[in-house]
């Protein structure tokens, strides 16, 4: 028996706007409205809007909230001050990753965790498993609010300029990875953050589900003069891949270490950060991983796809593609994959096996498009 797909509070609105709906992470979501390339360009050069209400949200409250988050995530939560956001990941106790997430700090005793849609139940259960140690009571101090919120990611270089019309709070000059609780589009207690997964700047706005229609209408009215458009998950994927951002389930998962994945920058080996798997991560960092997640660009024509083999000049397998696409910006095939350490240096020639053809490629730095 197939499990029924969940829908977001914007489902009817995005369908009416022309969204082609597909199953994604247990939800029915719009993959595109016009074409992926056109939507990609809209976000790179102007402003586009994604329904990302499928993401999960947990509140963590109380005097031990920071200690608890410090234990279950690899980044240093004590680097945060009120109004800041941090990218992090949850180690799984076996050297792998439960999920990657955003940690919002609103007050010393009030945090907001944003997790991937496909992992909501898994992540919450993992949090509950470690909560008692810190006196965190599920349902009181740890709240799964995923079903209460809808979320729009308003992305692109013109996003903040357009959205400034909808609030008296000064948002246009907010730096990257900052957050506030504000009145937005006449909706009180909206969570507003200068975050996103496109590499083109912008913001994300969370409101309670009952305000979905009001938020959508206001956002599109405010952005009309900037030719704002709805954007689907297809362009979300090409945008994040051009920027070299990991996608859980493709580039990172329960079998990949953050050190292998190039996420050492969110794995903080500082005093007082006794996160789960710290010893394993320190050992891997010191010894060097056997494989590394690296970006690559094709020099031959073709499109790399997930699970394509990465080979050396002798045709021996040295890795596997985790994400790949034809770049709408650069008009070349590019991707990311785990590559044996000795072939992971920038500029190294590698070969991507696509339909039995060996396509020449080279290891490249990310973001690819800048």
pLDDT, position 370: 87
- DSSP conformational letter for 120: H
- DSSP conformational letter for 251: T
The arrangement of strands across the sheet holding 97-107 comes to 84-91, 97-107, 110-115, 56-61, 142-144
The secondary structure of 31-87 as a DSSP string is: EESS-HHHHHHHHHHS-EEEE-TTSEEEEEESTTHHHHHHHH-SS-GGG--TTEEEE
- Rounded alpha-carbon distances, angstroms, from residue 256 to 89, 146, 224: 12, 26, 43
pLDDT higher than 80, residue 3: no
- DSSP conformational letter for 136: P
pLDDT, position 2: 53
Query: If you search the block for the tokens 């060097």, which residue do you land on?
Result: 288
pLDDT, position 345: 97
Nearest by Cα to 27 from 197, 154, 146, 204 = 146
Tell me the per-residue pLDDT of 300-350, one tens digit each, with 9 for 90 and over. 999 999 999 999 999 999 999 999 999 999 999 999 999 999 999 999 999
Cβ burial 150-188 (10 Å sphere, 16+ → b, else e): bbbbbbbebbbbbbbebbeeebeebeebbbbbbebbebe
**Mean pLDDT calculated for residue range 147-173:** 98
Split at pLDDT 50, 70, 90, the class of 162 is very high
Element (H, E) at 13: helix 11-16
CB 87 within 8 A of CB 78: no
Q: Which domains does the chain have, with CATH numbers?
A: 11-55+148-242 (3.30.1360.120), 56-144 (3.30.70.1400), 290-364 (2.40.30.110)
**Mean pLDDT calculated for residue range 127-145:** 98
Q: Is 148 helix (H, G, I), strand (E, B) or coil?
A: coil
Cα 259 from chain centre: 18
Tell me the per-residue pLDDT of 76-135, one tens digit each, with 9 for 90 and over. 999 999 999 999 999 999 999 999 999 999 999 999 999 999 999 999 999 999 999 999
**Mean pLDDT calculated for residue range 220-241:** 98
Percent of the chain with pLDDT over 90: 98
- Mean pLDDT value across the chain: 97
Token representation of residue 99:
């999920």
CB 10 within 8 A of CB 212: yes
From CA 21, how far away is CA 24, in angstroms rounded?
Answer: 9
From CA 116, how far away is CA 276, in angstroms rounded?
Answer: 20
Beta strand residue intervals within 132-259, DSSP E: 142-144, 149-155, 179-184, 187-193, 202-208, 229-230
Phi-psi region of 195 (alpha: psi -120 to 50; beta: other; left: phi over 0): beta
pLDDT, position 1: 43
Kindly give, in sequence order, each residue whose CB lies less than 8 Å from that of residue 249, ignoring residues fewer than 6 positions away. 116, 118
pLDDT higher than 90, residue 354: yes
Tell me the per-residue pLDDT of 267-304, one tens digit each, with 9 for 90 and over. 999 998 999 999 999 999 999 999 999 999 999 999 99
From CA 305, how far away is CA 323, in angstroms rounded?
Answer: 6
Element (H, E) at 130: helix 120-131
From CA 52, how far away is CA 74, in angstroms rounded?
Answer: 25
């Amino acid at each position: 028996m197939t499990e029924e797909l969940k829908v977001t509070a914007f489902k009817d609105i995005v369908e009416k706007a022309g969204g082609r709906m597909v199953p994604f992470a247990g939800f029915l979501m719009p993959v595109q409205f016009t074409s992926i390339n056109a939507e990609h360009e809209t976000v790179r050069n102007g402003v586009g809007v994604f329904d990302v209400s499928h993401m999960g949200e947990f509140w963590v409250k109380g005097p031990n909230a920071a200690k608890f988050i410090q234990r279950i995530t690899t980044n240093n939560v004590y680097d945060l001050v009120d109004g800041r956001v941090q990218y992090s990941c949850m180690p799984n106790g076996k050297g792998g990753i439960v999920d990657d997430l955003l940690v919002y700090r609103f007050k010393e005793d009030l945090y907001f965790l944003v997790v991937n849609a496909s992992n909501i139940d898994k992540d919450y259960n993992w949090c509950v498993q470690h909560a008692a140690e810190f006196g965190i009571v599920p349902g009181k101090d740890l709240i799964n609010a995923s079903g209460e919120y809808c979320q729009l990611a308003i992305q692109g270089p013109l996003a903040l300029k357009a959205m400034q019309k909808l609030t008296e709070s000064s948002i246009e000059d907010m730096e990257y990875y900052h957050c506030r609780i504000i009145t937005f589009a006449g909706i009180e207690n909206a969570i507003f953050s200068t975050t996103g997964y496109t590499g083109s700047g912008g913001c994300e706005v969370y409101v309670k589900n009952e305000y979905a229609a009001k938020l959508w209408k206001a956002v599109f009215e405010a952005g009309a003069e900037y030719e704002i458009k709805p954007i689907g998950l297809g362009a979300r994927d090409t945008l994040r891949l051009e920027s070299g951002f990991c996608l859980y389930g493709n580039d990172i998962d329960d079998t990949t270490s953050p050190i292998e994945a190039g996420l050492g920058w969110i794995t903080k080996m500082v005093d007082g950060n006794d996160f789960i798997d710290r010893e394993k991560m320190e050992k891997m960092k010191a010894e060097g991983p056997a494989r590394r997640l690296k970006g690559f660009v094709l020099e031959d024509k073709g499109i790399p796809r997930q699970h394509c083999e990465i080979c050396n000049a002798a045709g021996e397998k040295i890795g596997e593609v985790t994400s790949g696409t034809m770049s709408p910006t650069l008009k070349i095939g590019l991707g990311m994959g785990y590559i044996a350490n000795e072939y992971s240096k920038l500029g190294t020639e590698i070969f991507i096996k696509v339909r039995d053809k060996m396509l020449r490629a080279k290891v490249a730095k990310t973001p690819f498009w800048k």
